[in-house]
Amino acid sequence: MENHKTVTRSSFFKQHWVFPILLVLLFLPVLVILPWQAQKIESEDRQQQLIADSLWVEQGIHFQLSRNEENCRFLGDVIIANSIPLDQLKKRVAKLIENNPELFQVVWLDEDDHVVFSSRPFAISDFSLYSRQSIIHARSSQIPQYSQPAAPDGEAHPILMDYHFPLFRHQRYIGSLVISYQTSAILEKMVPWWFAQETEISLLDIDDNVLADRGAGGYGRNVYTHNRSLDLPGVNLVLHTNSIRGAPRLLPNYLVTSVFLLGLGLLWTLWALWRDIQRRQMAESALRQQVAFRRAMENSLVTGLRVRNLEGQLVYVNPAFCEMVGFTQEQLVGAKPPLPYWAPEAIEGYHQSMAKIVSRTAAHGGFDTVYQHADGSRIPVLIYESPLVDEDGSQTGWMGSILNISDRKQAEQALRMHEEKLHSTARLSTMGELASVMAHELNQPLAAISSYAGGALSMMKSGELEQSMLESVLEKMQTQAQRAGQIIRSVHDFVVKREPTRTLVYLDKLFLSVLPLIELQAKSYLVTLRMEIEPSLPGVSADQILLEQVVLNLTRNAFQSMQSVPIELRLLRLRVICEDNQIQVEVIDRGLGITDAVAERLFSPFFSTKSEGMGMGLNICRTTIEFHGGQLTYRPNPAGGTIFCFSLPVHEAVSR
C-alpha cells in the first residue's frame, strides 16, 4: 500500500512538471534566437534605411543635373539665336556658376572646336580623350551627352565629367556648349551634410574605379553598402554608399542580462513599437511628398502619358494626354479596345504597330499615326511605346509617350512645297537654256513635213501621184511628226509641276526617255555623246521626273564645263552599271575640272561659278538623290575633267 502511494505521488509530480519543462524548453530557444533575430532585424533595418537614403540622394543628384541640363539648353538656344552680346552671355554664365557651385566651368566651342568663350582659362587640348570623343558623338547623333569622367591628358587632378550640348542652326552644326563638373564637387555640393556624416559616399565607374569619395564621418565599415546606378546619356556611373555604422553585437554577458531583458521586454517592446510607428509615419510622410512631387511633375508635362495593361485596357492617363484627345480621365481610364480616340481609318495600323512592338521588331524612334479628337478632328501624333516592368522584373503592361506633331507636319509640308518650287524653277531654267536649240530641232521635222506635203500636192495637181508614192510620202510625214511630238512630250513631262511620286523605274528606259533633251544640249555645245548602259539593270523605287532633272542638270553642267576645250576633245560619257546591290550612274566629262576653292562650296546653296547661274542645281541634285536613299559624289577624271556619280539602292522586290 505504501509503495503504491509513493508511485502515485511520483507520477503526479511527473505529470505537473511536464508543462513547466515544456515552457523551459520553449523559453531556452527563445532566449537563444531572440537576440540573434533582433540583431538580424536591426541589420536589415539599417540596410533598408541606407537604400532609402541612397535613393533619395541619387534622385537629388539627378534632379540637379537635369536643372543644369535645362540651363545649358537655354544658353544654347541663346547662342543659336544670337540674341544677346557676348558680354551679357558671360555675365549669365558667371551667374549660373555662382548659383550652382557644383559647376566647374562652362566652355563654348565653335564649329571648328575652337574655344569662343570659357569661364576659366581653357584650351581644347585640356579636354580628356573621353570628352573629345563625346564631342564627336554628340555632334554626329545631335543628342547631348556626358563624357566618361577623367582627368585631362597628362594630369592626375581634377577628374572632370563634361556635358556636351551640340548647337545646330538650320540643321547645320555651329559648335558645342560644354559644362564641366568636378566629380568631387558633385558629392560635396549635391549630397546633404547629414548623410555624409553617417555614410561614406563614392562615385565609381563601370569598372569600380573610384572617381570621387566623401566621408565626413570617417570610412565606411563595409557592413551596410548599396550601389545606385546614375544612368546619364553617354555614361553610366555608380553611386556607392558605405555606412560607417558596424553590425549590432550580441549582448556581452548573455546569462546575466537575459533575466534583465525579460523584465524590460515589455518596455522595450512598447518603445520599439513607438519608434517603429514614428519611423513609419516619417516614411509615409516622405512617400506622400514623393508621390505629390511626382504627380506634380506628371501634371506639368506637355507630353501625353498613358499606361495599358497586357489586355490593352487603359489604367492611367495624364492631364496632357486628356487635353490632347479631348476626353476626361473618367472617360478613358478603364476603357478597352477599340479606344475612344482611335481614328476608324487607322485602327488596322494601330494593331500592326502594336504587333511589331510586342515582337520587338518596331523601330526605336517610335511610330507616326493619327488620333481622333473628341470633336472629330484628326491629330497627327508620334508614339514611343515601352514595356512597363514592376520591381520583380515582370511586365505588367505598356507605357506610352505621345507627342502632338501637328506643327511638325505643317512645317514638313511647307518644306516639301518649297522644295517642289525649287525643282520646278530649276526645270524651267533648264528649258530656257534649251529653247533656242529645241526650236532649231523642231524646225527640221516641221520643214520636212511641209516639203513632203507640198511635193504631194504638186504631184496630185499634175496627175503624176500614184498610190505607192502617196503612201511613201505619208509614212515619211508621219515619221517626222512623231519625231517632233517626242521632243515636245519630253519637254512637257519634264516641265510640268506635280507632286513627287515613287514608282518602279528602270534606268535604261529613263535614259531613253530623256535622251532627246540630252542630245539637244550635246548638239548645242558641239559635244560627242557616248552612252554605256549595262543590260538588264534591276529597277529602283524612285520619282522618274526628279531623276530626269538630276541627269539633265549634271549633263548640262558637263557640257558647259567643256566650252573652252577643243572640239575634238569634247566627249561626254554616261555610264550606268549595277554594283553591290546599287545602281551607279556616272557622268564623265573632259572639262577643266574643279579647283580646291570651288570644291569647298560646290554643294552650297546659291553658290555658282556661272554669272547667270542660281547656285541651286547641284544642291537640288544632292537633295533629290538623298531623298531616294542614295548619295551624290564627284572625283577627278584621270583623262581630264570631272566624274559626277550618284547611286540608288535596288528595289528589294524587283526581278527582271
Alpha carbon distance 207, 465 (integer Å): 101
What's the pLDDT at 281?
82
The winner for highest mean pLDDT among 251-260, 353-362, 426-435, 443-452 is 353-362
Question: Residue 393 CA to chain centroid, in angstroms?
Answer: 26
Band (pLDDT 50/70/90 cuts) for residue 524 is confident
Which of helix, strand or coil describes residue 429?
helix
From 504, 514, 575, select the one nearest 541 (Cα to Cα).
504
**Contact indicator for 203, 237 with CB cutoff of 8 Å:** yes
What's the pLDDT at 346?
78
Q: Higher pLDDT residue, 475 or 643? A: 643
**Contact indicator for 142, 123 with CB cutoff of 8 Å:** no
C-alpha cell read off for 499: 507632286
Contacts of 50 (CB under 8 A, 6+ apart): 199, 224, 225, 226, 241, 243
Which of helix, strand or coil describes residue 50?
helix
Q: Do domains 304-404 and 411-649 have the same CATH topology?
A: no
Q: What are phi and psi of 533, to 5 degrees?
A: -110, 125
Across the chain, what does the average pLDDT equal? Answer: 76
Listed range (75-79, 273-277, 447-451, 648-652) with the worst mean pLDDT: 447-451
Contacts of 372 (CB under 8 A, 6+ apart): 325, 341, 342, 343, 344, 378, 379
**Contact indicator for 342, 359 with CB cutoff of 8 Å:** no
Indicate the pairing of strand 571-579 with strand 582-588: antiparallel
Residue 433: pLDDT above 80? no
Architecture of domain 411-649: 2-Layer Sandwich (3.30)
Rounded average pLDDT over 424-452: 55
Residue 637: pLDDT above 80? yes
What's the pLDDT at 652?
63
Listed range (66-75, 168-177, 354-363) with the worst mean pLDDT: 354-363
Indicate the pairing of strand 199-204 with strand 235-243: antiparallel
Please count the other Cβ atoms lying within 10 Å of the Cβ belonging to residue 149: 24
Which tens digits make up the pLDDT trace of 600-633? 667 655 444 554 443 346 777 887 888 888 888 8
**Domain assignments of the chain as residue spans, ordered by start:** 48-250, 304-404, 411-649
Could you write out the three-class secondary structure of 573-606? EEEEEEECCEEEEEEECCCCCCCHHHHCCCCCCC
State pTM to two decimals: 0.37
Could you write out the three-class secondary structure of 321-371? HHHHHCCCHHHHCCCCCCCCCECHHHHHHHHHHHHHHHCCCCCCCCEEEEE
Instruction: Place domain 48-250 in its CATH homologous superfamily.
Output: PAS domain (3.30.450.20)
Contacts of 614 (CB under 8 A, 6+ apart): 425, 426, 429, 606, 608
Contacts of 277 (CB under 8 A, 6+ apart): none
Q: Higher pLDDT residue, 540 or 458? A: 540
HSE of 311, CA atoms in CB hemisphere, 13 A: 5
Contacts of 123 (CB under 8 A, 6+ apart): 115
What's the pLDDT at 437?
47
Residue 553: pLDDT above 70? yes
Indicate the pairing of strand 314-317 with strand 571-579: unpaired
Band (pLDDT 50/70/90 cuts) for residue 462 is low
Which tens digits make up the pLDDT trace of 83-115? 788 888 888 888 888 888 888 889 988 888 888
Listed range (52-66, 303-317, 400-414, 471-485) with the worst mean pLDDT: 471-485
Q: What's at 248, amino acid-wise? A: P
Which tens digits make up the pLDDT trace of 245-285? 777 665 544 544 565 566 556 556 667 767 787 788 888 88
Q: Higher pLDDT residue, 387 or 259? A: 387
Burial string for 22-33 (b: 16+ CB within 10 Å, else e) reads eeeeeeeeeeee
Residue 465: pLDDT above 70? no
Band (pLDDT 50/70/90 cuts) for residue 446 is low
CATH 3.40.50.150 assigned to 304-404: no
What's the pLDDT at 128?
81
Listed range (497-501, 502-506, 517-521, 540-544) with the worst mean pLDDT: 497-501
Residue 643: pLDDT above 50? yes
**Contact indicator for 180, 224 with CB cutoff of 8 Å:** no
The winner for highest mean pLDDT among 20-29, 152-161, 204-213, 481-490 is 204-213
With the C-alpha atoms ordered 379, 380, 386, 391, is the resulting torsion angle positive or negative?
negative
Rounded average pLDDT over 544-548: 80
**DSSP code of residue 112:** T
Rounded average pLDDT over 410-439: 59
What's the pLDDT at 588?
92
The residue to which cell 540630252 is assigned: 518
What's the pLDDT at 483?
61
Burial string for 327-346 (b: 16+ CB within 10 Å, else e) reads beeebbbebeeebebbbeee
Listed range (64-73, 301-310, 322-331, 477-486) with the worst mean pLDDT: 477-486
Band (pLDDT 50/70/90 cuts) for residue 26 is low
**Contact indicator for 224, 27 with CB cutoff of 8 Å:** no
Helices 507-525 & 406-462, crossing angle to 10 degrees?
A: 70
Listed range (114-123, 431-440, 483-492) with the worst mean pLDDT: 431-440
Please provide the DSSP assignment of 251-304 as one string: PSSHHHHHHHHHHHHHHHHHHHHHHHHHHHHHHHHHHHHHHHHHHHHHHH-SSE
C-alpha cell read off for 495: 516641265
